[in-house]
Structure 1
Amino acid sequence: MNFFHPRHGRRSLAQMISDIQAYIHEEPTANYKIVIGTDSQTREKETIFVTAIIVQRIGKGAIFYYTKKRHKAMRELRYRIYRETEYSLEFVELLKEKGFFGFGVNIPMEIHLDVGQQGETRKLIQEVVGWVTAVGYTAKIKPESFAASAVADRFTK
């Protein structure tokens, strides 16, 4: 799986984790938050899913990476939103498997969902927020879900 950083370009999972750990160790006393979100865009023949990971140094900036997955076009909104949620949760599990959270820093984490009170996705809020919170994570929806609705969205185009 390849990740992309706006300045450093393509990064492996190991490189991304190392970059993030170095970023945190630059200012170990700062407050941090990890945010993960996925968005999708369906075109004529395919749906592109982009998952973003953002590490915020609260009040002092952030770094982010993203990865893309391509699928045959998915037209059904419910299925796409479920797949977005699944990809975000799978990414957290992948990070756990690689020891990402074991480097001695207790950092809060949020899963950002591309659903909100406006539009068709409002019908799915309870389901996907319930899923994320049931597995132990904090879920955010629009307008607070910037990882999905702004960062990941930008790279689906």
Structure 2
Amino acid sequence: MVNDIRFQNLQERNMSFEDVFNRILKFMNRNQRGNYRLMIGTDSQVHHDYTLFITGIVIQSEGKGVWACIRKVSVPRKMGRLHERISRETSLTEEIVALITEEKKNRMIDIILPHIYHGATFTMEGHIDIGSGKKNKTKIYVEEMMARIESMGLEPKIKPNSFVASSYANRFTK
């Protein structure tokens, strides 16, 4: 099943998760003293006869750039119910996070570990395309979705701080 999951970005298509993970390691090895944020988030768009989900994976070296890719999943029906769609977005994010095993986390941490006393950092975030504002229809799902992301070992981020889901992934849902 893991081999069926494919990713792409503007430079490459048909990447496996192992390919993606190796690109992340390569990016981190360029500056082992960096401040890294590994961010994963999903957004969706209901189209005429299908619903498109885009999961973004972004590794950011603060002030030094990013490497990113997406995964597309199409559901062959209109998913009109907001809770169902947001729950599916969160599930797709969780699916990718589950591929980041303890061994993989340790490999990323090992890159910056010798440099933590010089300011190197590494965090993992789950970006959820929901907000807690008064007028936001998704505010009633904030606690539920944040708890799910937190249970996966990630720091949950919602709007306006969930830009991987609400901006990066969103670009590719149209």
**What TM-score, normalized to structure 2?**
0.83
Residue 132 of structure 1 and its aligned partner are, at CA, apart by: 1.8
Residue 11 of structure 1 and its aligned partner are, at CA, apart by: 1.9
**1:100 pairs with 2:100:** no
**Cα distance in structure 2, aligned partners of 1:36 and 1:105:** 20
- The equivalences for 1:1-157 within 5 A come to 1-71=5-75, 72-96=77-101, 99-103=103-107, 104-105=110-111, 107-116=122-131, 117=133, 118-157=135-174
- How many pairs does the alignment contain? 156
**What TM-score, normalized to structure 1?**
0.92
1:2-49 deviations in whole A, cap 9, x for unaligned? 111222343222211111111111111111110000000011211111
Residue 94 of structure 1 and its aligned partner are, at CA, apart by: 1.4
**Cα distance in structure 1, aligned partners of 2:153 and 2:15:** 28
Counterpart position of 2:115 = none
**Cα distance in structure 2, aligned partners of 1:33 and 1:3:** 19
- What are structure 2's unaligned runs of at least 5 residues? 113-121
1:57-106 deviations in whole A, cap 9, x for unaligned? 01111111100001132110001001111111111101228x43231246
User: What is the aligned-residue identity percentage?
Assistant: 33
**Cα distance in structure 1, aligned partners of 2:28 and 2:151:** 28
Which structure features the higher share of strand residues?
Answer: 1
- What are structure 1's unaligned runs of at least 5 residues? none
Segments of 4+ in structure 1 off by > 6 A? none
Residue 135 of structure 1 and its aligned partner are, at CA, apart by: 3.7
Amino acid at match of 2:123: P
Residue 137 of structure 1 and its aligned partner are, at CA, apart by: 2.1
Structure with bigger gyration radius: 2
Amino acid at match of 1:67: R
RMSD (Å), alpha carbons = 1.6
Amino acid at match of 2:166: S
**Cα distance in structure 1, aligned partners of 2:20 and 2:168:** 17
Going from structure 1 to structure 2, the CA distance change for 1:95 and 1:136 (only over 3 Å counts) comes to: closer
1:92-134 deviations in whole A, cap 9, x for unaligned? 101228x432312462101000001242111211221122223
**Cα distance in structure 2, aligned partners of 1:133 and 1:105:** 24
Amino acid at match of 1:55: I
